[in-house]
Amino acid sequence: MKTQSSAMTATDLARAFDEARAAQISWNQTSFKNRRKLLLDYHDSVNDNQAMLMDTLQRETGKSRNHAFEEITGSLAGIRYVANNLRRALSSHSAKPGIPFALKIKVDYSPVGVVGVVTPWNYPLALTMLDVIPALAAGNAVVQKADDKTIQTIIAARDLAEANGLPRGLWQVVHGDNEIIGNGLIDNCDYFAFTGSTQTGRKVAQRAAGRLIGYSMELGGKNPAIVLPGANLEKTSERLLASFIGNSGQLCVATERAYVPAAEMKAYVDLLGKKIESLKLGSSGVFDHDLGALISSDQISRVGGFLERARKGGSEVIGGVISGQTIQPSLVVGTDHKSEIATQEVFGPVLALIPYEDLDHAIEMANDTEYGLNASVFGDVGLATEVASKLQAGTVNVNEGYRASMASLDAPMGGMKQSGVGRRNGIHGIRRFTEPRTIAINRGLVELPSRGSQYIKMAPLMGVISKVMKRV
């Protein structure tokens, strides 16, 4: 494999696919038992090497130790879930036949072949485990395009898997130009899993559709939170804070806009402002910072640009001090619901606070977006759950920002509207990397008709069967 500094070519990509397809042939014959053992051994190896992985994550991303640790724990949970649910997801099972007793129906799952995966820079390890691991476990090979900024993290994860028995060549890691490597990935794989921006996702969908291959995509978000009247001020403020500073806001499910009762607005602004002032920024090898740096100077410029334009538009910005590649979490107050800061994905530790008088209007504003990835509601559980059911998002958290749904790997995760296609996690998150196959068996108890004279005899029986089936 070429080094990070050397650009990979179309020839390199073709070689990666050739090696992956060759390795997949025998891997597909590996039993569920052996795959599970390999995954659990890999789980323990990741756990044992978490310090090295966190060091690599921090070096490449600038995230704090605690956010690197969160990524490790999420990765371990992803491996465990797949290992312990693989047989349940992919074992063959019976289905109801069209004619009881006369037919037997069996459904099994065949791997698609080689899965193409694109992993972004914000959560390189965790998102690898949520896409690459279930794809491998389902009997496929994987060719994964890593972001150049975080390739060493992914190579370290791949190398640990091979050290624990994963056949060499089965998990290929590539990187480089999107036109050559990114498009080439779509043009050669049998299924494509993509995490990234909505703008790029539209291009991916068009290219994949041209080949008639399956794909799943987790895309952008502009995630709302609704604070209910009378919600506990201290608890809600702390949870709101956690919901937008996680990974320094570089998280697709992070909260970016919060709708707060107008009568309680000042209290939330004051308390959140104090909490922001108390945060410790930096990236060290110990758990002594609350959040780390942004990934690059370009990302600093992007987030800082949003804040500067909000100030020029008349909004108050609390926080937002930039020092090197760190930026202080920011509250934007006095902004309009239709403003740039309230409608465009910032992807940084920025929260727009917007007052509301009427709860129905808050729900309407929360849903007034092209995105639908994540949402949250804070307050009385009964009312909050009722409100949650009215929000147009793939995941909705009650009295949490995003961590409750992210930690629940048996439940599907994905976006509505322009926030994605398909779902990762859960049983479906494993099955998406397979082709379901139906095997229908005629037991020979009833000869199915093929001629008119036979249909005359069969018609009365089918009438009886229809009445019986109505009650089954």
Residue 5 scores a pLDDT above 70: no
Q: Check: CB of residue 290 under 8 Å from CB of residue 280.
A: yes
145-200 per-position pLDDT tens digit = 999 999 999 999 999 999 999 999 999 999 999 999 999 999 999 999 999 999 99
The reported pLDDT for the residue numbered 3 is 42
> Tokens 């975080």, residue?
150
- C-alpha gyration radius of the chain: 25
Q: Which of the 8 DSSP states describes residue 7? A: P
In the chain, where does the domain assigned CATH 3.40.605.10 lie? 10-92+108-219+423-431
pLDDT-derived band of residue 472, with 50, 70 and 90 as boundaries? low
294-317 per-position pLDDT tens digit = 999 999 999 999 999 999 999 999
Q: For the chain, how far is it from start to end, CA to CA, in angstroms? A: 57
- Higher-pLDDT residue of 448, 200: 200
Q: Which of the 8 DSSP states describes residue 418? A: G
Q: Active site includes 252?
A: yes
How far from chain centre, in Å, is Cα 436?
23
Q: Starting from the edge strand earliest in sequence, which strands make up the sheet with 395-398, in order?
A: 316-319, 330-333, 350-356, 255-261, 223-227, 374-378, 395-398
pLDDT-derived band of residue 464, with 50, 70 and 90 as boundaries? confident
At position 264, the amino acid (one-letter code) is E
The catalytically annotated residue of 60, 71, 189, 252 is 252
Residue 330 scores a pLDDT above 50: yes
Q: Residue 117, SS3?
A: strand
Q: Residue 326, SS3?
A: strand
Q: Residue 376, SS3?
A: strand
pLDDT (average), residues 42-61: 98
The reported pLDDT for the residue numbered 99 is 82
How far is Cα 266 from Cα 263, in angstroms, rounded to an integer? 8
CB burial string 204-223: b at 16+ within 10 A, e below: bbebbeeeebbbbbbbbbbb
Residue 459 scores a pLDDT above 50: yes
CA dihedral 394, 400, 402, 406 (to 10 degrees): -90
Strands 330-333 and 350-356: parallel
Q: Active site includes 189?
A: no
The catalytically annotated residue of 218, 256, 345, 400 is 218
The reported pLDDT for the residue numbered 2 is 42
The reported pLDDT for the residue numbered 349 is 98
The reported pLDDT for the residue numbered 466 is 80
Q: Which of the 8 DSSP states describes residue 167? A: P
CATH superfamily of 10-92+108-219+423-431: Aldehyde Dehydrogenase; Chain A, domain 1 (3.40.605.10)
Residue 454 scores a pLDDT above 90: no
CATH superfamily of 223-414: Aldehyde Dehydrogenase; Chain A, domain 2 (3.40.309.10)
Query: What percent of the chain is predicted at pLDDT more than 70?
Result: 99
pLDDT-derived band of residue 206, with 50, 70 and 90 as boundaries? very high
Lowest mean pLDDT among 106-120, 209-223, 275-289: 275-289
The reported pLDDT for the residue numbered 286 is 86
Q: Which of the 8 DSSP states describes residue 469? A: H
382-399 per-position pLDDT tens digit = 999 999 999 999 999 999
pLDDT (average), residues 137-147: 98
Phi and psi at residue 205, to the nearest 5°: -60, -40
Q: Check: CB of residue 166 under 8 Å from CB of residue 157.
A: no
How far are the Cα atoms of 64, 282, 328 from residue 289, in angstroms, in the given order?
Answer: 6, 6, 12
Give the mean pLDDT of the chain: 95
How far is Cα 177 from Cα 394, in angstroms, rounded to an integer? 31
List the beta strands (DSSP E) in 71-222.
93-95, 103-111, 114-119, 141-146, 171-174, 191-195, 214-218
Q: Check: CB of residue 177 under 8 Å from CB of residue 201.
A: no
Q: To the nearest 5 percent, what fractions of the chain are helix, strand and coil?
A: 50, 20, 30
Q: Check: CB of residue 417 under 8 Å from CB of residue 371.
A: yes
Q: Check: CB of residue 109 under 8 Å from CB of residue 434.
A: yes
